């Protein structure tokens, strides 16, 4: 099975992506209502993510999900920094694992809810 | 024509177990006859100390008949038979050992022996009694391994040795080493707190409700999740099964108990399912949300067997089973539940499906695959029908979207369902179960008790 991680794109993130050359890789889902990028994850990196984060799981599509929000934010930063969707993106994230775990510890207590009624 | 109609099945074991005393006068008299009193404690993770189970949920589910014909904490011979053949001593099939376990210290402090009546308090109030018929010792680690099987003994479906990453294995591994076996009786029925109170339909009540609604056949949807539109379509389409006509009733039965980190809170799960009928995605005349108390063991085929028992006891005629049913990780084959219900798993004691063995089940399995969005059809499409490339929908993917603060498109999560998620997110400061939620929930529980 091929593994990957999904980076969701809102307008703010779309602005940061401009000029990276990755725009052509943007995928549209659900009738165009959702824009995203898929980052490649090797078997070895998948095992490392699952070992490092208790909540992480692999869904039926092969997508690695349920990692901390801090991980997902850094994943996007690395995509922009490396201008790539290859395994080096996740390697870049895992290089900052201690920092991410520190932030994840805080976010496991509280995540600000969206402001909707 | 009448021969084609499916009748509501009898409870598993032939009669509904009901061990609940409502009369306070009688209850007080029974309470006074107890030889000792024990405050029920949550089972704590054997390494981390975080709650993983509370035996009160098993007592509730046994005494209200969800687990009929089980009547109490199992004796040693029964546990051994369940582990070997998945059968009770009275022959009826049953997947899991259920025991009242205590520590050596507690056993010594209580000083109880066989023949004694133990009073059980919950949140400091009288709750139930246990008439002790046997006291024995268990090895929790051995119990944990034997409960779920292993690749050597159960090669048909077990792919990987169980370990501490499996929450069900952890529950049994965290049991205390002494078991008090015997029948339970609830003598002070707990009161469910909102929102759970309006979803409490124990088997007698659910059967009465089905009668009242004219639901001759009912299909069950097992859930431990907030519904996305894929779930909604599964329910809508599964209900086309039945006999000479589609099932008039769809029962959503949510498992309430200790959840995994990252699952949605129980409060959000039940209200989100309710939103599906409240806002007309499935009309309320055809859709009922209910709960059962159980700390999930995530035993895929074994859990499906328990689900079949619970829902047959509730009066359902059909049960939906999907891929990776009640599973976590890759311990079992993804289709282990389908293997059990279509041809059996001999090493688990089923040379044939559980509906085709003596003392088996009557509820009928409805194996379902999945719905996902088809950009060509521009609608949610069934995997076995649609011939296009579809966009798979997973609960985990949705959770990621929710956590990042992105409202899912309405084609995959109804806005009313999302609003329920946010409502409870605001309440708990977090959209999913985290350690704080679990610890607090296990302290407060879903119920309160009055004085006796």
* Cα distance between residue B203 and residue B19, in whole Å: 12
Q: Does A116 touch chain B (CB under 8 A)?
A: yes
The residue ranges of DSSP E strands in B55-214, in sequence order, are 72-73, 100-102, 117-122, 125-137, 178-186, 191-192
Return the minimum-mean-pLDDT range out of A18-27, B181-190, B386-395.
B386-395
Q: What is the pLDDT of residue A1?
A: 77
Q: How far is A21 from chain B (nearest CA, A)?
A: 24
Q: Is residue B449 part of a domain?
A: no
Angle at B214 between CA B212 and CA B216, to 5 degrees: 125
What is the per-residue pLDDT for B407? 85
The residues that bridge with B364 in the sheet, in sequence order, are B318
Distance CA A25, CA A12 (A): 17
CB-nearest partner of A111 from B328, B412, B431: B431
Q: Which tens digits make up the pLDDT trace of A68-96?
A: 889 998 999 999 999 999 999 999 999 99
How many domains are there within chain A? 1
Q: Categorise residue B332: left if φ over 0, alpha if ψ from -120 to 50, beta otherwise.
A: beta
The predicted pLDDT at position B260 comes to: 85
Position B238 scores a pLDDT of: 87
pLDDT of residue B136: 98
What number is the average pLDDT over the span B411-429? Answer: 95
Its domain, for residue B204, covers 196-444
Residue B3 is classified by DSSP as G
Q: Is residue A74 part of a domain?
A: yes
Cα–Cα nearest to B316, from B214, B220, B199: B220
* DSSP per-residue string spanning B160-212: S---TTSHHHHHHHTS-SEEEEEEEEESSPPEEPTTGGGG---HHHHHHHHHH
- pLDDT tens-digit map of B77-120: 999 999 999 999 999 999 999 999 999 999 999 999 999 999 99
| Residue found by looking up tokens 């949140």 in the block | B123
Catalogue the E-assigned strands of A42-111. 57-58, 64-65
Residue B134 sits in the same domain as residue B280: no
Find chain B residues with C-beta within 8 A of A112's C-beta: 405
B135 forms bridges with which residues in the sheet?
B180
**If you average pLDDT over residues A30-42, what whole number do you get?**
92
pLDDT band at B135 (very low <50, low <70, confident <90, very high): very high
**pLDDT digit string, tens, across residues B64-75:** 999 999 999 999
Residue of B nearest to A70 (CA): B404
Contact B397, B248 (CB under 8 A): no
> Are residues B161 and B223 part of one domain?
no
Shared domain for B187 and B276, answered yes or no, is no
* Residue located via tokens 């995928």: A27
What are the helix (H) ranges across A1-117? 11-17, 43-52, 69-82, 87-94, 97-107
Q: Which residue has the tokens 């402001």?
A: A115
User: Is the peptide bond prior to B52 cis by the omega test (within 30 degrees of 0)?
Assistant: no
What is the token pair recorded at B102? 């205590």
CB atoms closer than 10 angstroms to residue B380: 24
Domain membership of residue B2 (yes or no) is no
Among A30, A65, A114, select the one facing B400 at the smallest CB separation. Answer: A65
Residue at B436 is within a domain: yes
Mean pLDDT lowest among A14-18, B132-136, B157-161, B301-305: A14-18
Would you call B261 and A30 a contact, using CB atoms and an 8 Å cutoff? no
CB B268 within 8 A of CB B398: no
Domain that holds residue A52: 3-107
What is the mean predicted confidence (pLDDT) over A99-116? Answer: 86
Distance CA B30, CA B52 (A): 31
Instruction: Confirm whether B187 is domain-assigned.
Output: yes
Check: CB of residue A78 under 8 Å from CB of residue B409: no
Q: Give the residue on A whose Cα is nearest the Cα of B370.
A: A60
d(CA A35, CA A15) in angstroms, rounded, equals 13
Does residue B451 belong to any structural domain of this protein? Answer: no
β pairing state of B371-374 and B100-102: unpaired
Of A60 and B360, which is predicted with more confidence? B360
Domain total in chain B: 2
Residue B414 pLDDT exceeds 80:
yes
Q: Do the Cβ atoms of B429 and A108 come within 8 Å?
A: no
Boundary-marking domain end, from B192, B214, B230:
B192
pLDDT tens digits for range B298-351? 999 999 999 999 999 999 999 999 888 998 889 999 999 999 999 999 999 999
pLDDT band at B395 (very low <50, low <70, confident <90, very high): confident
**Chain A contacts of B422, Cβ < 8 Å?**
113-114, 116
Judged by a CB distance cut-off of 8 A, whether residue A95 touches chain B is no
Ranges of beta strands (E only) in B376-433 are 379-382
Q: Can you tell me the mean pLDDT for B388-393?
A: 86
Nearest by CB to B391, which of A29, A54, A69? A29
Domain end call among B175, B192, B209? B192
pLDDT of the residue at B239: 84
- Distance between CA B341 and CA B448 in Å, rounded? 38
Nearest Cα neighbor of B280 from B379, B416, B407 is: B416
pLDDT at A117: 66
Q: Has residue B258 been placed in a domain?
A: yes
**DSSP 3-state percent helix, strand, coil across chain A (nearest 5):** 45, 20, 35
- Looking at the fold, whether B70 and B213 belong to one and the same domain comes out as no
| Rounded CA separation B222/B367 (Å) | 12
Burial class (CB in 10 A: 0-12, 13-18, 19+), B416: middle
User: Which of residues B142, B159, B192 is at a domain's end?
Assistant: B192
Average pLDDT, chain B: 95
- Distant-in-sequence, close-in-space partners of A107: CB < 8 Å, separation ≥ 6: A68, A69, A70
Residues 6+ apart with CB under 8 A from B230: B370, B371, B372, B380, B393, B412
Residues B40 and B121 sit within 8 Å (Cβ to Cβ): yes
Closest approach of A79 to chain B, Cα-based (Å): 17
pLDDT band of residue A115 (cuts 50, 70, 90) is confident
| Whether residues B215 and B323 fall in one domain | yes
Mean pLDDT score of chain A: 91
Pairing, β A3-9 against β A34-41: antiparallel
Band of residue B1 on the pLDDT scale cut at 50, 70, 90: low
Between the CA of residue B392 and those of A56, B302, B384, B451, what are the distances in Å? Answer: 19, 27, 13, 51
The arithmetic mean of pLDDT across residues B14-32, rounded, is 98
Distance between alpha carbon B214 and the CA centroid of its chain, in Å? 25
**pLDDT on residue B231:** 93
Q: Do B171 and B247 have their domain in common? A: no
CB B241 within 8 A of CB B209: no
Closest-CA residue of B relative to A8 is: B401
**pLDDT > 90? residue A59:** no
- Is residue B257 within 8 Å of residue B57, measured between CB atoms? yes
Note whether A14 contacts B: Cβ–Cβ < 8 A: no
């Amino acid at each position: 099975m091929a593994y990957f991680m999904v980076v969701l794109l809102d307008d703010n993130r779309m602005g940061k992506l401009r000029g990276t050359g990755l725009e052509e890789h943007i995928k549209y889902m659900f009738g165009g209502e959702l824009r995203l990028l898929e980052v490649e994850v090797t078997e070895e990196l998948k095992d490392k993510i699952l070992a490092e984060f208790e909540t992480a799981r692999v869904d039926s599509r092969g997508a690695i999900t349920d990692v901390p929000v801090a991980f997902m934010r850094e994943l996007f930063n690395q995509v922009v920094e490396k201008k790539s969707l290859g395994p080096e993106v996740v390697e870049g994230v895992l290089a900052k694992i201690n920092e991410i775990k520190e932030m994840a510890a805080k976010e496991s207590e509280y995540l600000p809810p969206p402001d909707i009624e | 024509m009448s021969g084609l109609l499916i009748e509501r099945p009898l409870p598993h074991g032939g009669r509904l177990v009901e061990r609940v005393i409502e009369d306070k006068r009688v209850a007080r008299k029974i309470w006074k006859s107890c030889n000792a009193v024990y405050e029920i404690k949550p089972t704590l993770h054997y390494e981390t100390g975080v709650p993983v189970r509370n035996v009160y949920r098993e007592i509730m589910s046994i005494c209200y008949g969800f687990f009929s014909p089980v009547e109490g904490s199992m004796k040693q011979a029964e546990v051994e038979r369940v582990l070997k053949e998945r059968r009770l001593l009275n022959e009826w099939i049953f997947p899991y050992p259920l025991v009242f376990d205590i520590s050596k210290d507690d056993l010594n402090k209580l000083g109880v022996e066989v023949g004694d009546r133990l009073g059980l308090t919950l949140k400091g109030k009288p709750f139930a009694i246990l008439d002790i018929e046997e006291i024995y010792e268990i090895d929790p680690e051995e119990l944990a391994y034997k409960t779920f099987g292993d690749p050597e003994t159960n090669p048909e479906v077990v792919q990987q040795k169980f370990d501490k990453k499996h929450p069900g294995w952890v529950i049994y591994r965290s049991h205390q080493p002494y078991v008090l076996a015997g029948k339970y009786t609830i003598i002070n029925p707990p009161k469910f707190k909102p929102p759970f109170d309006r979803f409490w339909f124990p088997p007698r009540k659910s059967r009465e409700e089905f009668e009242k609604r004219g639901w001759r056949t009912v299909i069950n949807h097992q859930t431990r999740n907030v519904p996305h539109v894929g779930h909604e379509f599964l329910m809508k389409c599964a209900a086309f099964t039945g006999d000479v006509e589609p099932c008039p009733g769809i029962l959503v039965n949510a498992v309430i108990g200790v959840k995994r980190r990252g699952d949605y809170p129980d409060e959000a799960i039940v209200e989100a399912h309710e939103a599906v009928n409240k806002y007309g995605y499935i009309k309320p005349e055809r859709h009922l949300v209910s709960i059962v108390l159980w700390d999930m063991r995530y035993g895929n085929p074994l859990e499906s067997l328990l689900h079949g028992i619970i829902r047959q006891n509730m009066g359902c005629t059909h049960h939906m089973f999907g891929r990776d049913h009640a599973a976590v990780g890759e311990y079992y084959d993804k289709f282990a539940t389908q293997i059990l219900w279509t041809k059996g798993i001999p090493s688990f004691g089923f040379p044939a499906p559980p509906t085709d063995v003596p003392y088996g089940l009557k509820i009928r399995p409805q194996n379902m695959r999945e719905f996902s969005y088809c950009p060509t059809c521009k609608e949610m499409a069934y995997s076995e029908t649609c011939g296009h490339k579809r966009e798979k929908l997973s609960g985990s993917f949705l959770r990621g979207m929710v956590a990042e603060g992105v409202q899912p498109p309405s084609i995959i999560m109804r806005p009313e369902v999302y609003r329920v998620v946010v409502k409870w997110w605001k309440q708990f400061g977090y959209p999913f179960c985290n350690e704080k939620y679990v610890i607090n929930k296990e302290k407060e529980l879903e119920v309160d008790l009055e004085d006796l």
